Structure 1
């Protein structure tokens, strides 16, 4: 989130579980706000923007309703509701595992994104949960890929949110995953894999390079399943796609991984082959109560 956003209150309320999007106007010269928006968002039609403005759903940080000919001024923050037509339903349900005055703990299904992005808006964990619980201040406090299922923590108390976020920053939280991948008989387990991970050459993927390690995963076998094994993965660090990169690097890529060791053609809305990766459990000392907490996914892979 932009640091300036933290000092502002949105002039538009959460609607049907969807918080308004916002944008700080950059340096530049446009004859009016509409001309900038059409250039910035070419996939959104002029008619759509005009309809939003007519309903009073494009506003600045002071709550003033903006129109097509409103002056373009650098530094203004505009708010609006993002909309998607023909969003594909994701036919899997999240389950609430626990709720108190601070946290909501859920069991996320495969294929469901956590937050609105790209072609997903209503079919996201955050929007579904806001609609289901009425907790409009819900915020994820750690990351879980769309392709990964399992335990996820969200905060709904702004005053205590920072205390829970610090747990992840200080690595004082224990996360255990399970993954189905090929058996490699020559790999001595348990094994700790360390490497330096950086952004890859292709959009969205990561890669390992030479240099000081910045990622670490502990790997062990839980059981054999024919030519594959059910592995237990315990990340010490939390790099994007870390478990997927590490398993692929060892020559045992997680079953149905579409990105590693190589990026495959997008299957679109094909839900037939979920990534065999599950966030099985998460454990920590609660920074508010001092009690040990542990939550387990009820799913299987």
Structure 2
């Protein structure tokens, strides 16, 4: 029997999703355990994967499983969830309102500060305020990020991002219905010529490529799966707005504030759901997945209800 503690940070999540994150095993493997009656929560056999966890319960697996190197570290520093850590990397699930590293003009929390508070030593490579940071997410975008712990990992991961060998997948809820339902947007991005706090498609800007496909189409909005070939500042937000379908909740790039208010959103509906790359230490391919935060999930349920 294996026993795991469900972190308080996962309170409200589906038990199958929480079990997958805690154990490091796939959702399909967890579902088979539930079907076989081999998964218990707080001493009770789980019968439905849709059951919600409260956080703080013990999860018991009564069937022996091969240990997985990918696990959930139960430490939580002010909302930044550590989903995996080893000698070379730490993967975090960043909440909205947190930046990757301290920066001028923003006085809020950062991933770098949270990791330091959790006692995680990261690579000293990079500028002093962004040591270990090899990728960034907007303050208003939630989801997965990888941070380098060793100096070698920093070098390897920076090169991987430059070579575009890191798989970055986002889900975005956009206004209207993109036509065609799937496609590629290739348009250069640079600072907006009239507003340096935002980005725009500008001739001579940095080469930028976004691939998208429809997951769900609803009356008011469409849920997209988006794969970034490049990683420019605000890339998804700029490209989808240029297509005429801004991310819901993103007034900076033309979203309807009325719709955002109806959905209870005060930020863009954009989440980094999957991150995959060749591990800089082992050479093996690793991947991680994040569930929707509560505010995005609630908004999506309203859209689904019409």
TM-score (norm 2): 0.61
Q: Find the counterpart in structure 1 of residue 110 from structure 2.
A: 124
Question: Matches of 2:148 and 2:79 in 1, distance apart?
Answer: 20
- CA displacement 1:122-144 (0-9 Å, x = unmatched): 62221011111242545211121
Displacement of 1:195 in angstroms is 0.8
Against the structure 1 CA distance between its residues 230 and 176, is the aligned structure 2 distance closer, same or farther, given a 3 Å change threshold? same
C-alpha RMSD of matched pairs (Å): 2.6
Write the mapping of 1:165-184 to structure 2, written as runs, cut at 5 A: 165-184=158-177
Q: Is 1:97 matched with 2:97? A: no
Write the mapping of 1:192-211 to structure 2, written as runs, cut at 5 A: 192-201=184-193, 202-210=195-203
Question: Matches of 2:217 and 2:108 in 1, distance apart?
Answer: 39
**Aligned residue among 279, 282, 294 for 1:289:** 282
Tell me if structure 2 keeps the 8 A contact 1:110–1:275: no
Write the mapping of 1:264-283 to structure 2, written as runs, cut at 5 A: 273-283=266-276
**Aligned residue among 190, 193, 210 for 2:182:** 190
**Aligned residue among 227, 236, 249 for 1:234:** 227
Further displaced range: 210-219 or 104-113? 210-219
Query: Which consecutive unaligned segments of at least 5 residues does structure 1 have?
Result: 1-90, 265-270
Q: Looking at CA atoms only, which structure, 1 or 2, has the larger radius of gyration?
A: 1
Question: Matches of 1:226 and 1:162 in 2, distance apart?
Answer: 46
Question: Matches of 1:193 and 1:276 in 2, distance apart?
Answer: 19
Query: Which consecutive unaligned segments of at least 5 residues does structure 2 have?
Result: 1-76, 124-130, 258-263, 297-306
Q: Find the counterpart in structure 1 of residue 252 from structure 2.
A: 259
SS at match of 1:246: helix
After TM superposition, the runs of 4+ consecutive aligned structure 1 residues lying more than 2 A away are 118-122, 209-213, 298-301
Question: Matches of 1:200 and 1:131 in 2, distance apart?
Answer: 36
**More helix by percentage:** 2
SS at match of 1:259: helix
Tell me if structure 1 keeps the 8 A contact 2:192–2:202: no
Displacement of 1:213 in angstroms is 7.6
Write the mapping of 1:77-156 to structure 2, written as runs, cut at 5 A: 93-121=79-107, 123-135=109-121, 137=123, 139-156=132-149
TM-score (norm 1): 0.62
Question: Matches of 1:222 and 1:99 in 2, distance apart?
Answer: 31
Against the structure 1 CA distance between its residues 285 and 199, is the aligned structure 2 distance closer, same or farther, given a 3 Å change threshold? same
Tell me if structure 2 keeps the 8 A contact 1:122–1:128: no
SS at match of 2:197: coil
Question: Matches of 1:136 and 1:290 in 2, distance apart?
Answer: 20
